[in-house]
Amino acid sequence: MNTREHPDNEASETQARLSAVIDKAQDLCERLQNQTTAAAKATDRAVREHPYQAVGVAFGVGLLLGIVMARSRD
């Protein structure tokens, strides 16, 4: 039996597949939000425990990025 002969059947199958994809995307989004929140909390904790090291690392990374960007302009 061809699905083109029954457009309602084809539409319901497409809707079911779309619904499954949306559910998977929502689950993935929720997991990513949870992971991001956990990472942000861990980063906050580390910065609060070692503020001077965090400032030093941020300064170093900024300096390296500045050097790389300045060289790429030349």
Could you state, in order of their start, the residue ranges of all structural domains in the chain? 3-73
What is the distance in angstroms between the CA of the first residue and the CA of the last residue of the chain?
66
Q: What is the pLDDT of residue 25?
A: 97
For the chain, give the mean pLDDT: 91
From the list 34, 52, 54, 56, the residue with the least C-alpha distance to 44 is 54
From the list 30, 32, 28, the residue with the least C-alpha distance to 20 is 28
Q: Is the pTM of this model over 0.75?
A: no
pLDDT in tens, 7-35: 788 888 999 999 999 999 999 999 999 99
User: What's the rounded Cα separation, in Å, for the pair 57 and 47?
Assistant: 11
Q: What is the pLDDT of residue 11?
A: 86
Q: What is the pLDDT of residue 64?
A: 97
2 pLDDT above the threshold of 90: no
